[in-house]
Amino acid sequence: MKAAVIVFPGSNCDRDLAVAFERAGADVTMVWHKDSTLPAGVDIVGVPGGFSYGDYLRCGAIAANSPICKAVVKHAEAGGYAMGICNGFQILTETGLLPGALRRNAGLKYICRTVGLQVATSDSAFTSAYAKGDTIDIPIAHHDGNYFADDETLARLQGDDRVAFTYAENPNGSVADIAGVLSANRRVLGMMPHPERAADAGHGGTDGTAMFSALMEQVVTA
């Protein structure tokens, strides 16, 4: 599997994401935000967490209009895989690849701790290693992680089984406790929690490791 990890000014989880891909067996290339193309043959693009462009305007809004994000959109629209974590999730909603928006946390405070996530579907390359209903422990670190979608969009997400993860105990006010969602073709995932920070026993947990291992197997098969 060939993976590309995008690097923006203000990214701070790009290396963590690259290491998680590499440990799963992927060949990883770091791609700068001013590049206009992705490396040839890329299977999956990782859009990492952090504070792209200093979180000016809406979080992720400037990054979504960067040269590389135009290539990411083309990659996804052609059926390629992509995952956005934390700020990456914000960026993918700003590009229109995923529905909804991420707003300021309900408590108006930055939250950084490990939370319980419930697996809402196992029907995706990202979640296939888990069983629906499993609870996994994954860290969060965000100030604008309050997922919002209007009633029509929410009904569509739930009806199409496109909610990937929900919070066991909602930390930020997200509608329907949503922590992650899938695109219509199930090949793009956005999630606020950080599975790449739960892929090394030395960091305190490994519940995210299965996600990257499953991706390696399923993306290569696809």
Q: Of 59, 86, 94, 142, which residue is the catalytic one? A: 86
Contacts of 22 (CB under 8 A, 6+ apart): 28
Which of 13, 33, 94, 196 is the catalytic position?
A: 196
Distance CA 21, CA 2 (A): 9
Residue owning tokens 């799963």: 24
The DSSP letter of residue 39 is P
With 0-12 / 13-18 / 19 or more C-beta atoms within 10 angstroms meaning exposed / middle / buried, residue 120 is buried
* Phi, psi of 188, rounded to the nearest 5 degrees: -125, 125
* Total count of residues recorded for the chain: 222
- Please tell me the distance from the alpha carbon of residue 152 to that of residue 155, in angstroms, as a whole number: 5
Instruction: Provide the 3-class DSSP secondary structure of residue 92.
Output: helix
Q: Is 86 a catalytic residue?
A: yes
d(CA 35, CA 119): 35
Whether 196 is catalytic is yes
**77 catalytic residue (yes or no):** no
Tell me which residues are annotated as active site: 86, 194, 196
